[in-house]
Amino acid sequence: MPADKVWWRDGVLYQIYPRSFSDSNGDGIGDLRGIIERLDHLGWLGIDGLWINPVMPSPNMDWGYDVSDYKAVDPELGTLEDVDELVAEAGQRDIRILFDLVPNHTSDQHPWFRDAIGSRTARYRDLYVWADPKEGGPPNNWLSVFGGESAWELDEASGQYYLHNFLRHQPDLNWWNDQVREEFDDILRFWFDRGVAGFRIDVAHAMIKDRELRDNLPVDDETDERARRIGQQPIYNMNRPEAHEVIQRWRALSDRFDPPRILVGETFVLDLGKMIAFYGERNDELNLAFNFPFVFASLDGGALRKVVDETESLLLPESWPVWTGSNHDVGRLGTRWCEGAEDRTRCALMMLLTLRGTPFLYYGDEIGMVEPELTKDQLRDPVGLRFWPEPRGRDGCRTPMQWTPEKGAGFTTPEATPWLPIGDAGACNVADQRHEARSVLHLTRALIMLRASSPDLQTGSYEPLETPQGVWAWRRGERVTVALNLSSQEVTLEDLSGEVALSTNRDRDGDRIGDRVSVGPWEGLVIQT
Ligand code: NOJ
């Protein structure tokens, strides 16, 4: 790695849903040893860092996002020794490991909550958010994100309610309490001391609640679609300004490590100004903040370009954008943006890997994996089950990685029953695509290699160009231009010259362009002068 390369800024990051990546012991569940066994694939692809969804012990009411011990590994996924080996083996390949931190809530099986429930004077009582009933019912009108029901659950023994912004099995921590802050400092240090390079912070915007527990306001014309679905504006049960103090505290702690550890936030706010505030006014909060307005924009030049241009104009010079099209909650880009069409998927990958900012690929994006249709009895996600059949739950984007065309897809043994059904591995898998020079997999790798060899693509400026409708084109730095035709009509672009460094369908790699170029429907070109 060149000495001045900053891995999380200049490199490409990759998200792994550990239960679904690779199963090393044939129990149908992916695990840490499985990830270790697949590091060669990730090294070959050119990945610089992995974000691994929660691996801590969990009763799995919300698949790892209900943690019952923050300093251990869930036995289904491995051991602390496996973590050490993963960090070391990944390090050998210049790959860093980011873990997932869930600070907003614990599991209701966490020893703190087991102690806290039942008595108002319990030792750990104040680590959670408790309130007296109001008029015989919940303390206020806050609704849970998972289901449009009250976010309060009555603890009959003590006569008070506890808050759960998500499932009732996920009691919210009280971040006004100093002990909570100290415990989490300790948790961060525990993993950083083991060589973990940073954290993705779950619902980073949600940690602090209004001290006075004021009622949320009803939806109005400005309210976004997601809040509308829940039925109120989440302004007091989350999205409080004091969350920034907690993040600043962690950033200071992370910066004290050598090398500094990094913080990536799940900043699930749909207002770009508010999202960008999480980098900190003095760039002293998150290193990277996920951009959900981008994730939810449709794959057309207009909508995506609008978000990118606005993000670029609002970001402070030292802050660095993040681009992603898939994750374990929102779905896979091959399905949600591209409706399974491979030419579109190729354009989406070219976009993510050539914009100015850090791309996060989600396992399977590199082969254009799509979400299989699941029946209700196959679902494991509490949200999918709650809202069946619409909106679609999250299991479709959490199905096992498709490594080979055989039964078990190389994810698990042919005899094992995978924890979630496997998609169409015959049609889409790593092994077949490795043998096909023009596959989506080879395009993804070529884009990553091109980026790694081009300072313009890593850190060069982003400058959008005037183009006909349907096309989105931008210049990166001094010598690179990217042109994406996100429409079904061929278009001609003027005033472009140079050599095609990469084309989405690979037919035009190496072509010389003199002044004008036609770009086919759903075709993308990276042109270098
Ligand atoms: C966001 C996580 O990504 C999601 O999977 C989880 O259900 C919620 N936070 C609650 O932790």
**Digitized pLDDT (tens) for each residue of the chain, 529 residues in all:** 666 889 999 999 999 999 999 999 999 999 999 999 999 999 999 999 999 999 999 999 999 999 999 999 999 999 999 999 999 999 999 999 999 999 999 999 999 999 999 999 999 999 999 999 999 999 999 999 987 799 999 999 999 999 999 999 999 999 999 999 999 999 999 999 999 999 999 999 999 999 999 999 999 998 988 889 889 999 999 999 999 999 999 999 999 999 999 999 999 999 999 999 999 999 999 999 999 999 999 998 899 999 999 999 999 999 999 999 999 999 999 999 999 999 999 999 999 999 999 999 999 999 999 999 999 999 999 999 998 988 779 999 999 999 999 999 999 999 999 999 999 999 999 999 999 999 999 999 999 999 999 999 999 999 999 999 999 999 999 999 999 999 999 999 999 999 999 999 999 999 999 989 999 999 999 999 9
Q: Letter for the amino acid at 468?
A: P
Looking at residue 173, what is its pLDDT? 98
Over 88-141, what HEC string results? HHHHHCCCEEEEEECCCECCCCCHHHHHHCCCCCCCCHHHECEECCECCECCCC
Domains of the chain (ranges; CATH) run 111-163 (3.90.400.10), 461-528 (2.60.40.1180)
Looking at residue 3, what is its pLDDT? 65
Q: Take atom 2 of ligand 1 and give the residue whose Cα is closest.
A: 202
DSSP 18: G
pLDDT in tens, 157-175: 999 999 999 999 999 999 9
8 Å CB contact between 94 and 87: no
Looking at residue 2, what is its pLDDT? 65
Dihedral (CA of 17, 21, 26, 28) sign: positive
What distance in angstroms lies between residue 394's CA and the mean position of ligand 1's atoms?
A: 10
What distance in angstroms lies between residue 65's CA and the mean position of ligand 1's atoms?
A: 6
What distance in angstroms lies between residue 329's CA and the mean position of ligand 1's atoms?
A: 7
Looking at residue 391, what is its pLDDT? 76
Hey, which of 203, 360, 381 would you mutate to test ligand 1's pocket, going by the most ligand atoms within 8 Å of its Cβ? 203
Q: CB count, 10 Å around CB of 516?
A: 11
8 Å CB contact between 275 and 293: yes
Q: Take atom 4 of ligand 1 and give the residue whose Cα is closest.
A: 329
What distance in angstroms lies between residue 317's CA and the mean position of ligand 1's atoms?
A: 30
How far is residue 394's CA from residue 381's CA, in Å, rounded to a whole number?
Answer: 6
Question: Is residue 40 annotated as part of the catalytic site, yes or no?
Answer: no
Phi, psi angle pair for 100, to nearest 5°: -110, 125
Question: Is residue 182 annotated as part of the catalytic site, yes or no?
Answer: no
How far is residue 356's CA from residue 223's CA, in Å, rounded to a whole number?
Answer: 30
Prior bond of 389 cis (ω within 30°)? yes
Looking at residue 226, what is its pLDDT? 85
Looking at residue 392, what is its pLDDT? 79
Q: Which of 10, 100, 266, 366 is catalytic?
A: 266
